[in-house]
Amino acid sequence: MPEQKWPQTIWIVRHGQSAGNVARDAAEAARLPLIDIATRDIDTPLSALGVQQAQALGHWFCDMPADAQPTVVLCSSYVRTRDTARIILDVAGIDPDDITFQADERLREKEFGILDRLTAFGIRQKYPELSEQRAHVGKFYFRPPGGESWCDVILRLRSVLDTISREYRRERVLIVGHQVIVNCFRYLLERMDEQKILEIDRTADVPNCSVTSYEFDPTRGRNGKLLPQLVNFVAPLREAGAPVTAEPDVPGAPKS
């Protein structure tokens, strides 16, 4: 058999509910144009419920045998993702000094540019031409001024996968990121096309602290491959009594 290229396991987790998720819900419900949150999106913390969700997931990892737990943790550079990762490790009893723990800016939230902090109503009100352009082009390719398209996010995630396959072969890798990060990794690892991943995105938002995972199977393909195991898995939250939430991230635009 050729040398294994991939980690043995990859878990991809969306951060716990954030204060921004809560603020967005309130703004959308009131049909306000702007989401009322004072911090930068980068600095937006977890809500109290988000902390509870991260703790619940930490217990799930704690219950794993030591030889099945993460050996590498990669997280977005945003506060809510770093805190989610740290809470998971703390509750699981995994010392960050005993593993590889790295915040990586390539795992950051999609950048929304001038649409940052606007609700769907606010986008239509303030930038009707952009709203029309987005509806015509589709969210996969639409790039707001100063922001990113899904393709831009996918491009930086290709670089992350290059790093993972080069530096973390045979490791067990936990990635903590954002909703679009989870979906774009699925696009890459499951070799989807635009229609398939947008169909998944339209169906439902990625729940906070849900787990999507892949296991390496050496018998599949020419050199072995990563196979999906869990998709938006929320049983650890339900078992711990933590409410499941699936709000979109703060500065987004409406689903299409």
Averaged pLDDT, 49-70: 97
Decide if 185 contacts 12 (C-beta within 8 A): yes
Alpha-carbon distance values, 12 to 9, 161, 179 (Å): 10, 13, 10
Minimal CA–CA distance to 195: which of 256, 131, 249?
256
pLDDT at 64 over 60: yes
Averaged pLDDT, 213-225: 93
Q: Is 118 helix (H, G, I), strand (E, B) or coil?
A: strand
pLDDT at 126 over 50: yes
pLDDT for 254: 38
pLDDT for 221: 86
Q: What percent of the chain has pLDDT over 90?
A: 82
pLDDT for 22: 83
Strands 9-14 and 72-75 turn out to be unpaired
Averaged pLDDT, 18-26: 84
Averaged pLDDT, 42-57: 96
Q: What is the C-alpha separation between 55 and 53, in angstroms, rounded?
A: 5
pTM (two decimals)? 0.93
pLDDT for 36: 81
What mean pLDDT is reported for the chain?
A: 93
pLDDT at 251 over 70: no
pLDDT at 250 over 70: no
pLDDT tens, position by position, 153-183: 999 999 999 999 999 999 999 999 999 999 9
Q: Within the chain, where are the H helices?
A: 19-29, 48-62, 79-92, 120-126, 128-137, 150-167, 179-189, 194-203, 235-240
pLDDT tens, position by position, 227-243: 999 999 999 999 999 99
pLDDT at 44 over 60: yes
Averaged pLDDT, 81-105: 98
pLDDT for 146: 97
pLDDT at 138 over 60: yes
Output the six-digit token pair for 114. Answer: 């001038």
pLDDT for 1: 59
Which of the four pLDDT bands, split at 50, 70 and 90, describes residue 184?
Answer: very high
Averaged pLDDT, 126-153: 96
